[in-house]
Amino acid sequence: MSICRANNEIEEVISTDVVPGDVIVIPSNGTIMPCDAVLVTGTCIVNESMLTGESVPVTKTNLPNPVQGDRDAEKDSAFSTEEHKRHTLFCGTHVIQTRFYTGELVKAVVVRTGFSTAKGQLVRSILYPKPTDFKLYHDAYLFLLCLVGVAAIGFIYSIVLSVMKEVPIKEIILESLDIITITVPPALPAAMTAGIVYAQRRLKQIGIFCISPQRINICGQINLVCFDKTGTLTEDGLDMWGIHRVENGRWLSEESAYKESLVKSQFVACMATCHSLTKIEGQLSGDPLDLKMLEAISWTLEEATEEETALHERIMPTVVRPPKELLPSEPAASPEMDMSMYEIGIVRQFPFSSALQRMSVVARRLGEKRMDAYLKGAPEVVASLCKKESVPEDFQEVLEEYTKKGFRVIALAHRRLESKLTWHRVQNVNRDHVEANMEFLGLIIMQNKLKAETPAVLQDLHRANIRTVMVTGDNMLTAISVARDCGMIPPQDKIIIADALAPRDGQTAKINWRYADKPGKMPRLEVRDRVLCSGSPLSFPLGLSLSPLVLHGTVFARMAPDQKTQLIEALQGVDYYVGMCGDGANDCGALKRAHSGISLSELEASVASPFTSRTPNISCVPNLIRMQRNVSTSLFAQTSVLRDMFIVKNHNSRLLFVCFYLHVARK
């Protein structure tokens, strides 16, 4: 690796000699990161599939400088890998390409090495997982302990009688050891191992690979399965269903929206610019939602090459243009109306943050002096950052109407920036300053379709009296719709939503209960009620309030990766045998913690899962449970046979001993 030393000297060292605080140079042709480092100059395109399971490359930008004189900004400027993920290059991830200023190198400061890195922590959690108490093994050990106790009694009894009869020592030892082998069958471990080996082979034949064979014996008792939503129950990709525009605080009708030309509207400009797409080897790459959004408007995206960037003192902006088909055939009357010259440059990007649930960009149209800010994100978050008069009064009702139907809804907003914000000032401006007093533009409605196999598989599990639970990071109402469509929630059941509120301003955490169809009515839990939990990040510090969530909960929405693991532990705490099925993205902890974790991803993150399926749908779950139950049945049958053999042999031994005793007595 290349490390910057004093006087801007570059020194080549091996990666094992890198320590926190070193300033490393990221090569332009890409590299595999050997440590965790925060980017201080330039921009990188990174593939983080090894850690997250997501194969979509992400853009990493340099760490912004705090505003001088702003005390609040200085407090918030303390570096944290969790808060500054978009500026951190994690160990094990692949840097695909870099973008840089003229004469400058792309530099990063090392913050963690070895097992302290993100990859190191993943490896450590795989090597030393939290021990799981398997009741089957506990009962098996108890059974063997009882057999050992019986063998010990027989051993002592045999020795005492033999000594009393003055039997030779050699015969005493042989007879005593024979009793132990009769009581504790030596064939039991071999029989159990043979069953596991054959089960592993049969699983491999149906495309399921196992790296933890001992789980096969245990998981025949599974009575609850947790499913991730996106990519597991539903398809990975999203389809553009439609848009719902807003002007002057009112929804536009379909007729007016259809008749109006949208090419030069702020709504389309936001769709064309507010994304993190990039070109890798000439192909657009990025989030599937952003790809579908740009595909819907058919705009083209162009990025400056490394040679072009090196000729300028700043990174050349990404440019988007409308398709040629929409350009007028006749020449325009004025330069302002000339569509052939219409293009938008993306000056600065504020990447998407899962904590903020939004992203934004600063862009400028060709020939204009003032810049525009475009915002995209969760509808509730975007609406809170817009002027009240620009948001329709029935915004919440319209949003719920779409989310109840299972659509994924994204909101857009726009603001004209002040003329004093030049290019250089925009590069250092605070994100909160840009994302304020926005004008609400409307909604983009995306559709996430169910996988064809999902309803039938869930029906099979229900017939087998196996409870199913959805664990997702998506919107609650969208999750409810998917749960109803796939049959996880029967039509006749009532739905109760539990909004989990994290502790704030000295107040304790609490749960607000409400009916999904009757928001104003406070529910009283009944046996057939379906509880659905959502809310801000919460680590379940609720004591007794957690019990109804675990026992009645069917859908858990807005769940962070660590909360999924906590949920698995809570379900195991009430004596459930839990299976977890996910696509490997942010499910590693839950897959490892569950009694039976099934990954649908063949990426490196699936190493954390005991089982990995080649089939990219949940049809592997019933197949795995059937195989596990077959092994359990075989194990119990083997134990019963060996137990009966012990009884018969022990009975025969007693008869022989009585005959021997009578024979000796006659003499």
> Which residue's structure tokens are 């057999």?
147
Nearest-angstrom CA–CA distance, 538 and 409: 24
CB 176 within 8 A of CB 170: no
SS3 state of residue 653:
helix
Concerning whether 228 is annotated as a catalytic residue, the answer is: yes
Q: What is the DSSP letter of 253?
A: P
List of residues 6+ apart from 664 with CB closer than 8 A: 165
CB 248 within 8 A of CB 441: no
SS3 state of residue 291:
helix
Nearest-angstrom CA–CA distance, 287 and 93: 17
Q: What is the DSSP letter of 119?
A: H
> Which residue's structure tokens are 């007016």?
256
List of residues 6+ apart from 328 with CB closer than 8 A: 339
List of residues 6+ apart from 286 with CB closer than 8 A: 56, 57, 59, 275, 276, 277, 278
CB 523 within 8 A of CB 543: no
- Cite the beta strand spans of 570-649 per DSSP E: 578-582, 596-599, 611-613
Sheet holding 31-32, edge to edge: 31-32, 94-99, 43-47, 58-61
576-593 exposure pattern, b = at least 16 Cβ within 10 A, e = fewer: bbbbbbbbbbbbbbbbbb
CB 14 within 8 A of CB 1: yes
- Name the catalytic one among 228, 372, 474, 587: 228
Torsion sign, CA atoms 481, 487, 492, 493: negative
SS3 state of residue 420:
coil
Nearest-angstrom CA–CA distance, 172 and 663: 18
Q: What is the DSSP letter of 33?
A: -
Helix (H) or strand (E) holding 495: strand 495-501
Q: Which residues have a catalytic role annotated?
A: 228
